[in-house]
Amino acid sequence: MNLENQSLTSADITQLWVSYVNDSALICQLQYFLAKSEDDETSQLLQQGLNQAQSHMTKITEIFSRENYPLPYGFNLDEDVDTTAPRLFSDKYVLYYLQQGARIVMQEYSVSLSLADREDVYNFFSECLQDQIGFLKMVNNVLQSRGFFTFYPSLPKPESYDFVKNQSFLTGYFGERRPLAGSEINNLFGNYVRNALGAATLVGFSQVATNTDVRKYLVRGKEIAQKHCEIFGSILHEDDLPASTRLEDAVTDSTTYTFSDKLMMFYSTGLIALSVGFYGTSMSMSPRRDLGATYNRLLNEILKYAEDGANILIKHGWMEEPPRALDRDELAKKKG
């Protein structure tokens, strides 16, 4: 595709804009984690992740500059992190953070790649995806070598294929429930792991938050994540399946300013947005009706929490306006 004749489309601009903001926030966290890391392998992973994020921001800057499109403000080291603050999270937490972050970002890059219209944008997200695939493999290798890697539950090997024979496959409200299907197990387990990491993250964030609104919001989010862990874990335990471990013990007792309230709110509301997507997908992949009802109930809870978070961001002037269409009515008013 001829770049000289093709402007950036809404898909190109939006995905690049989001990626730039996310990488600017990520750089703040990785710089802090790197400054506190006490383990060589973890430090090497952090440095590689940092290099990749910085490279991605440079390339997005080049694309936007060619189009005279303004860069988002995002986050920066001077305003949003104190790398000299005491350690807030252990290296074990950091490894799980890198693993889950890589898994999530791989999905985001896959979506961005599928939406890319212009060739240079397609090539950029293709490169980002390949970077993340290799990075996730390295993180997993370190987790396995330390005995920290969390495996999904095993399934028995069937003698042959079979077909569902009656409607009881879908039921689950009353009486005897059928065992969980593989897709249901995967989603319950994955949602448990993400909530466990989210709960630990919010414990740490709430300890160092300076604004009262933010601190209360983060504590509330921690309680929601912990409750969701209990719900997902109890469903897995009904079929004698393991849930993952919790990570709250990977948080230190530091209460010293570490990250800006703006950055912590950005991450917290981002985690909720991801949960909405994961819960929606889980609902669609869970034939047992009781699971669908559970996900629907939990979705309503986190949607309300997300709205409250957006209101805090707006109240304090922390929500950067994303790319959007022209407001034709507003233009008409100005003309008048």
Alpha-carbon gap, residue 66 to 1, rounded angstroms: 16
Q: 10-146: what CATH class?
A: mainly alpha
End-to-end CA gap in the chain: 41
Q: Is this model's pTM higher than 0.85 or not?
A: yes
Q: Do residues 47 and 24 lie in contact, with contact meaning Cβ atoms separated by under 8 Å?
A: no
Residue with tokens 């950005």: 266
Rounded to 5 degrees, φ, ψ at 259 are -120, 150
Alpha-carbon gap, residue 193 to 272, rounded angstroms: 14
Cα 53 from chain centroid?
16
- Which two structure tokens, joined as six digits, stand for 35? 């400054």
Q: Do residues 148 and 96 lie in contact, with contact meaning Cβ atoms separated by under 8 Å?
A: yes
Q: For position 1, what pLDDT does the model report?
A: 45
**In sequence order, what are the beta bridge partners of 89?**
251
Report the length, in residues, of the chain: 336
Per DSSP, the residues of 315-336 read HTT--PPPP----HHHHHHHH-
Q: How far is CA 228 from CA 195, 199, 232, 235, 331, in A?
A: 7, 10, 6, 11, 46
Q: Do residues 26 and 53 lie in contact, with contact meaning Cβ atoms separated by under 8 Å?
A: yes
Q: What share of the chain is helix, strand, coil (3-state, %, to 5)?
A: 70, 0, 30
Q: Strand, helix or coil at 150?
A: coil
Q: For position 2, what pLDDT does the model report?
A: 46
Express each pLDDT in 143-185 by its tens digit. 999 999 999 899 888 877 667 666 565 665 555 678 899 999 9
Per DSSP, the residues of 242-290 read ------GGGB----S--B-HHHHHHHHHHHHHHHHHHHHHHHHT--SHH
Neighbours of 155 (CB within 10 A): 12
Q: Which residues of the chain have pLDDT under 70?
A: 1-5, 161-162, 164-176, 326-329, 331-332, 335-336
106 sits in which H/E element: helix 91-115
Pure H helices in 175-211:
182-208
Q: Strand, helix or coil at 133?
A: helix
Q: Please work out, in degrees rounded to the nearest 5, the angle formed at the alpha carbon of residue 13 by the alpha carbons of 12 and 19.
A: 90
Q: Do residues 145 and 164 lie in contact, with contact meaning Cβ atoms separated by under 8 Å?
A: no
CATH 1.20.1260.10 domain locations along the chain: 10-146, 179-315
Q: For position 244, what pLDDT does the model report?
A: 84
Q: For position 115, what pLDDT does the model report?
A: 96
Question: What CATH number should be reported for the domain whose range is 179-315?
Answer: 1.20.1260.10
- Report the C-alpha dihedral over residues 64, 67, 73, 75, rounded to 10 degrees: 0
